[in-house]
Amino acid sequence: MFGKSVKVSPAISSEAKGLYGSLKSYGGFDTIGNPVMRRLGRRIINSGWRQTLEEIDFPYSMSAITLGGVEGLQCKSPASDRAGPVILYIHAGAFVCGSPEDNASAALPQCELAGAEVYAVRYSLAPEFPFPRGLEDVRNFYCALRSHVGNGRRIVIMGDSAGANIALSSMVQWRNNGIALPDCAVLISGCLDGTASSDTMITMQRHDPLIRIRGGNSLKSIFGYYANGTPVSDWRISPIYADLSGLPPMMLQVGSRETLLGDSARLSEKARTSGVNATLRVLDGMFHMFHLHWSMPEAKSVHQDIANFIATARVQAA
């Protein structure tokens, strides 16, 4: 536990201050190689994320769907528009945990705010199914999704943490292989560099309430399980090193208390110099995955920003 005595910004909401007292670190992920500890860790982390669904205060539905031979989850609310945007959501979980159901609160607000239908892909997890299996699952699901929703629907790719990594890597691969790209991308708290080279890996490691970096060793360990022998500096593993030219507009969101802050900052700058329209929003005092907590005003604010961005990107792409 991060501890109730930690100093937090007086500018954050009372709801956020209350959450700080109950946040529990994800740990170092050093025991992922042990099957028993891996199952236990997944159960604990996934359960915590699933509890955030209790904060959703509008009606919604979730139903299983299979596209391209890959399982997923279709999410709607009464506000979802059959002619509205379609969101391909790729969940967080350090490549080793999480699921469409457990992480659904990350994308559900877009059903209500953007009139979207959300399709969350159940990609294969490491270390049982390391790189490139997850990327292949996402590609197959995405290609089938485009056929499923038909022409005229705008498609948004959205990912958080490791899901943002997979989303960015996927777009670069699709561009290289001539696969039609989404109309825009939303990347939240992106975990984009397996070499742990961002400055905030050093400056924020004592201030991040959720991710224990330990000089980057914990992050490198996780990427090692995912990469399965592929160098972590390879852009397919660490897409911060990819050629970003020709990618669609991006919205990047991250909290100021994240060790991963530097990854988003670097991506924003690289996108700009590559001719890609990228908007970076850093939320003061916010922690990793804060957007899951719909009860916080800060989460409502960033989700409204996402909805506005999707609407603007649709107009530009139309």
Which residues have C-beta within 8 Å of that of residue 270, sequence separation ≥ 6?
A: 240, 244
The closest alpha carbon to 23, from 258, 216, 221, 250, belongs to 258
Q: Which residues pair with 14 in a beta bridge?
A: none
Q: Which residues pair with 278 in a beta bridge?
A: 250
Q: Which of 80, 105, 161, 170 is catalytic?
A: 161
133-149 and 162-176 helices, crossing angle to 10° = 70
Active site residue 112: no
Q: How far apart are CA 200 and CA 258, in angstroms?
A: 8
Q: Which of 112, 117, 258, 298 is catalytic?
A: 258
Rounded to 5 degrees, what angle do the CA atoms 286, 288, 294 make?
70
Q: How far apart are CA 304 and CA 4, in angstroms?
A: 30
Active site residue 161: yes
Which two tokens mark 226? 């995912």
Enumerate the active-site residues: 161, 258
